[in-house]
């Protein structure tokens, strides 16, 4: 079964750091571009970051640029999001999602999400 599973969410104070992980299974992870998308409580979807299969193309949304770092380990079938200098407005469910073909593409497989709460 094709699956993505996020972990690493939790409660963190403003200014703190958190590292999210996304474990992939059921497909050849190393051949797909991957994304992080977040959703604040009761709000819509916001694209956070994209990375291509070789980690040669990496992009970030303006709201997280300079604070978040996306990476991947194809040998471990894993995607990561290092989140530093966290703010209250980063509070959201964070989803990892697989791109259909290209680094910017529709997202056909999603994880169940992990909640990040930034609060003092």
- Residues between 25 and 44 with contacts to another protein, criterion CB under 8 A: 35, 37, 44
CB 47 within 8 A of CB 117: no
Q: To the nearest whole angstrom, how small is the minimum distance from the Cβ of residue 95 to another protein?
A: 6
Judged by CB under 8 A, does residue 53 bind another protein? no
List the one residue from 8, 21, 69, 110 that touches another protein (CB under 8 A). 110
Q: Tell me the closest approach of the beta carbon of residue 61 to another protein, in angstroms.
A: 5
111 binds another protein (CB under 8 A): yes
Q: How far is CA 85 from CA 42, 91, 103, 106, in A?
A: 23, 12, 26, 29
3-class secondary-structure state, position 74:
helix
User: 2 or 14: whose CB is closer to another protein?
Assistant: 2
Nearest to 3 by CA among 20, 21, 23: 23
> What part of residues 55-74 is at the interface with another protein (CB under 8 A)?
59-62
Phi, psi at 74, each rounded to 5°: -65, -30
Question: Tokens at residue 108, please?
Answer: 């056909």
Question: Where on the chain is the footprint of another protein (CB under 8 A)?
Answer: 35, 37, 44-47, 50, 59-62, 95, 100, 104-108, 110-113
């Amino acid at each position: 079964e094709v699956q993505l599973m996020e972990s690493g969410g939790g409660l963190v104070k403003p200014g703190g750091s958190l590292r999210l992980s996304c474990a992939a299974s059921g497909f050849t992870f190393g051949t797909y571009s991957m994304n992080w998308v977040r959703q604040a409580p009761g709000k819509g979807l916001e694209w956070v970051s994209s990375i291509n299969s070789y980690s040669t193309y990496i992009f970030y949304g303006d709201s997280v640029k300079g604070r978040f770092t996306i990476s991947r380990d194809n040998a471990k079938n894993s995607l990561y999001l290092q989140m530093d200098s966290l703010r209250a407005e980063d509070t959201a469910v964070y989803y990892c999602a697989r791109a259909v073909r290209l680094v910017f593409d529709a997202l056909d497989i999603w994880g169940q999400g992990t909640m990040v709460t930034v609060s003092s």
